Every structure is written in C-alpha cells, then in structure tokens.
C-alpha cells in the first residue's frame, strides 16, 4: 500500500512542503514517484517519518537526525532506542508535574511554608543544566556579556517576556513568508526583516558584527536551536544564518 504526499501530510500533521524538503535533503525519500510527478510513500517510509518526528520532539536537529536515520541500525532496535529516550523524558516531566501539583495543593490548603515543604517545590528541576547553559554562554561570548544580559532582564515582569515571545513568533513567520516569496538572504526586504530580529536581540544583549554572525551560525549548528527552527520550517535555520551574516556585513561594525 502507498500513500500520496497529501495523504501522509494529513496523517502525520507534517506539511507537504516539509515532506518535499526532507526528500530534497535525502532525509526521507519517497518509495517511488508517479508519472504525474507525485511522490508516494510506503510503510517503510512512514516508519522513517515517525522516527524523524520522534527525534525532533527530543530536540535533535536535521543533521543529527540524518546521521541516526542512515546509520544502518535495525528498525526495531532503533525504535527501542527511541522508546528509551521517550520514557526518560516522560519520567522527567512526570516528576515535574508531580512537583507542581503538590505545590498547588499546599498553596490551596493554606499550609504554612517551611524549609522542608519549600524544598519539595524544586524536585525534578535540573539546576546543573541551567548552570551548564550559563557556563557555555560565558565561554562562547564572555562572562561580561552574559552577566550584562542577565542584568537587563532580571526585573522584567512576566508580561514583558510574553510580549517578547509574541514578537519572536511574528519574526519567524515573517522570515518564512520571505522564503516563500523567493527572496535571497541579502535582499533588502530580508535585511529589513533581520533588522527587526537584531533589535529584538538587543533587548537582551547587543551583539557586534562578529558575535551576531556567530549567533546565526549557532542557529544551524546547535541541535537545541535547530530543532526549534525546524518546527516552524525546515528551511528557516540556514536562511536565518545567511540573512544574519548578510545583515552583519552590511549594517554592523
């Protein structure tokens, strides 16, 4: 049995455009292409797509996913590996959910906060991971830049962060529209859009030409960033990198 691109898109909630992109980069090649040019997928390809989506949910970028997909591993063995990853994530989030649930119960019950009870509020969190991110940023951009960024946002209200998130989503969708319009990364319209991104970044820290270009490259190289961009559009990370590089060269010192 085989399914068309449109049918696979409906089943998987993955856009037809994304499926075509996966084919173009050799990540998910259809079983065959009809004389009308339509792509068709068989069960083997659907299984591969499931694996791709699992790894995207786990935060892997497309390059890392491609390495796993093409490593020749037995499909059942590979699924066992993915299952173990997912169970570990499930357990981690379940522990966090229990922590939040317990806190709600204590607050609704009017219980007095003690050292013992407050300690339970932080079960399931991984402060070492946050420290790791902070240290990574210090090594990449310097302690002064990281500390200055932390200082800028430490007293911001929650509404401010929500507003920044809304702006970020708008920036990404604007970039995808420019990609769909066939604009090159150094097109003036794209550079104007990147200017919005640069000014958004400046709310947190002010990069120069070198560091802003490095940030764009990190969008592609770092699986954590790459996975977030891929969720919006698999073309976006590379386009942002190239557009940021063009902007930095043209408009930053």
Spatial separation of the C-alpha atoms in residues 42 and 31, rounded to whole Å = 6
Domain limits, the chain: 3-69, 75-122, 156-251
The helix/strand/coil state of 113 is coil
Contacts of 156 (CB under 8 A, 6+ apart): none
pLDDT of residue 250: 95
CA atoms within 13 A on the CB side of 41: 24
Averaged in consecutive runs of 10 residues, what is the pLDDT profile of the chain (253 residues)?
A: 92 90 93 92 92 78 79 76 74 74 73 52 50 55 66 78 83 91 95 94 86 88 77 89 96 87
Contacts of 161 (CB under 8 A, 6+ apart): 153
- Per CATH, 3-69 and 156-251 having the same topology is answered no
E strand or H helix at 33, and its extent?
A: strand 32-33
pLDDT of residue 70: 82
pLDDT of residue 245: 96
Among 1.10.1660.10, 1.10.3720.10, 3.40.50.620, 1.10.1040.10, name the CATH number for the domain at 3-69.
Answer: 1.10.1660.10
CB of 198 closer than 8 Å to CB of 212: yes
pLDDT of residue 249: 95
For 3, list phi and psi in degrees, rounded to 5.
-125, 145
**Dihedral sign (CA 56, 199, 186, 190):** positive
pLDDT of residue 244: 96
Spatial separation of the C-alpha atoms in residues 185 and 219, rounded to whole Å = 15
pLDDT of residue 98: 76
Instruction: Output the CA–CA distances (angstroms, integers) from residue 163 to 158, 160, 170, 228, in the order listed.
Output: 9, 5, 11, 19
| CATH topology assigned to domain 156-251 | Globin-like (1.10.490)
If you write DSSP's letter for every residue of 60-72 in order, what string do you get?
A: --HHHHHHHHTS-
């Amino acid at each position: 049995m085989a399914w068309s691109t449109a049918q696979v898109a409906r089943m998987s909630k993955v856009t037809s455009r994304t499926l075509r992109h996966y084919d173009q980069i050799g990540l998910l090649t259809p079983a065959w292409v009809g004389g009308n040019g339509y792509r068709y997928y068989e069960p083997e390809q659907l299984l591969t797509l499931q694996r791709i989506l699992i790894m995207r949910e786990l935060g892997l970028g497309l390059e890392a996913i491609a390495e796993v997909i093409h490593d020749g591993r037995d499909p059942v063995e590979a699924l066992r590996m993915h299952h173990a990853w997912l169970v570990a994530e499930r357990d981690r989030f379940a522990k966090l959910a229990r922590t939040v649930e317990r806190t709600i119960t204590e607050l609704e019950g009017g219980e007095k906060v003690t050292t013992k009870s407050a300690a339970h509020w932080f079960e399931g969190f991984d402060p070492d991971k946050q420290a790791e991110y902070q240290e990574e940023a210090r090594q990449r951009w310097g302690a002064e830049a990281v500390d200055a960024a932390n200082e800028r946002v430490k007293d911001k209200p929650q509404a401010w962060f929500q507003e920044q998130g809304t702006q970020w989503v708008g920036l990404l969708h604007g970039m995808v529209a420019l990609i769909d319009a066939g604009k090159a990364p150094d097109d003036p319209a794209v550079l104007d859009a990147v200017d919005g991104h640069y000014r958004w970044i400046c709310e947190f820290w002010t990069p120069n030409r070198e560091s802003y270009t490095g940030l764009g490259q990190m969008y592609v190289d770092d699986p954590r960033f790459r996975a977030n961009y891929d969720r919006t559009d698999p073309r976006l990370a590379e386009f942002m990198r190239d557009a940021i590089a063009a902007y930095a060269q043209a408009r930053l010192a």
